[in-house]
Structure 1
Amino acid sequence: MGRVLVTGMGMVSAIGNSVQENHESLREGRSGIGKVAYFESLYASLLPFGEVKLSNEELKSAQGLRSGNGYTRTCLLSDKAFAEAVADAGLTQGQLSSFDTALISASTVGGMCLTDQLYEDANCKSRGSEYLDAYGCSAHTLKLIKRYRLKGFTDTINTACSSSANAIMLGARLIRSGRVKRAIVGGVDSLAKYTVNGFNALKILSDSPCKPFDVHRDGLNLGEGAAYLVLEAEEVAAGKRTYAQVAGFGNANDAHHPSAMSDEATGAIRCMREAIDAAGIHPSQIGYVNAHGTGTQNNDQVEFFGMRELFAQMPPYSSTKSFTGHTLGAAGAVEGIYSILGLVHSELFPSLNVHEPISGAANAPVSEWKDGYHLNYVLSNSFGFGGNCTSLVFASVN
Structure 2
Amino acid sequence: MGVAITGMGIISAIGHSVEENKTSLLASKSGIGNLRHILTNHSQAIKVGEVLLSNAELTRQLHLPEIHNYTRTGLLGLVAATAALENSNISDCSTYRTGFISSTTVGGMDMTEQYIKQFATDVTTQKYIATHHAGDSTQKIADTLGINGLVTTISTACSSAANAIMLGERLIKAGKLDRVVVGGTDSLSKFTINGFKTLMIQSDALCAPFDAHRKGLNLGEAAAYLVLESDTVVQKEKKDVLAYLSGYGNANDAFHQTASSDNGEGAFLAMQKALEIANLNPDQIDYINAHGTATPNNDLSESIALKRVFGDQMPDFSSTKSFTGHTLAAAGAIEAVFSILALQEQYLFPNLNFNTPMPETGLKPITSGIKKEIRHVLSNSFGFGGNCSTLIFSKA
TM-score, structure 2 as length reference: 0.96
Report if aligned partners of 2:181, 2:227 keep a CA contact under 8 Å in 1: yes
Distance across 2 between alignment mates of 1:359 and 1:88: 44
Partner of residue 122, structure 2:
126
Q: Aligned match of 2:170 in 173, 178, 182?
A: 173
Report if aligned partners of 2:96, 2:178 keep a CA contact under 8 Å in 1: no
Q: Structure 1: any 5+ residue segments left out of the alignment?
A: none
User: 31-40 or 248-257, which moves further after superposition?
Assistant: 31-40
What RMSD over aligned residues (CA atoms) do the two structures have, in Å?
A: 1.5
Give the alignment of 1:198-209 within 5 angstroms. Answer: 198-209=195-206
Distance across 2 between alignment mates of 1:149 and 1:361: 49
Partner of residue 334, structure 2:
334
Deviations 1:363-389 (A, max 9, x none): 410110112x11111100000001000
2:186 maps to 1:183:
no
Distance across 2 between alignment mates of 1:70 and 1:98: 29
**Structure 1 SS opposite 2:314:** coil
Q: Percent identity?
A: 46
* Structure 1 residue 142 displacement after superposition: 1.0
Give the alignment of 1:302-317 within 5 angstroms. Answer: 302-312=301-311, 313-317=313-317
Distance across 1 between alignment mates of 2:53 and 2:100: 25
**Alpha-carbon spacing, 1:361–1:304, altered in 2? closer, same or farther (3 Å):** closer
Report if aligned partners of 1:121, 1:128 keep a CA contact under 8 Å in 2: no
Q: Structure 2: any 5+ residue segments left out of the alignment?
A: none
Give the alignment of 1:141-156 within 5 angstroms. Answer: 141-156=138-153
Give the alignment of 1:21-40 within 5 angstroms. Answer: 21-40=20-39
Report if aligned partners of 2:112, 2:128 keep a CA contact under 8 Å in 1: no
Deviations 1:103-142 (A, max 9, x none): 00000011011243352356x2432523122111111111
* Structure 1 residue 99 displacement after superposition: 6.0
Partner of residue 221, structure 2:
224
**Structure 1 SS opposite 2:350:** coil
Partner of residue 369, structure 1:
369
Aligned-partner residue type, residue 264 of structure 1: N
2:13 maps to 1:17:
no
Aligned-partner residue type, residue 55 of structure 1: S
Count how many residue pairs are aligned between Structure 1 and Structure 2: 392
Aligned-partner residue type, residue 353 of structure 1: N
Report if aligned partners of 1:166, 1:390 keep a CA contact under 8 Å in 2: yes
Report if aligned partners of 1:115, 1:193 keep a CA contact under 8 Å in 2: no
**Structure 2 SS opposite 1:249:** strand
* Structure 1 residue 144 displacement after superposition: 1.1
**Structure 2 SS opposite 1:110:** coil
* Structure 1 residue 236 displacement after superposition: 0.8
Deviations 1:195-246 (A, max 9, x none): 1111010001100010000000010000000000000011211221111100
Distance across 2 between alignment mates of 1:288 and 1:27: 16
Deviations 1:68-122 (A, max 9, x none): 21011111100100110000001122xx135610100000011011243352356
Q: Aligned match of 1:158 in 155, 159, 170?
A: 155
Report if aligned partners of 2:112, 2:132 keep a CA contact under 8 Å in 1: no
Aligned-partner residue type, residue 195 of structure 1: T
2:192 maps to 1:213:
no
Aligned-partner residue type, residue 16 of structure 1: G
**Structure 1 SS opposite 2:391:** strand
Partner of residue 43, structure 1:
42
* Structure 1 residue 391 displacement after superposition: 0.1
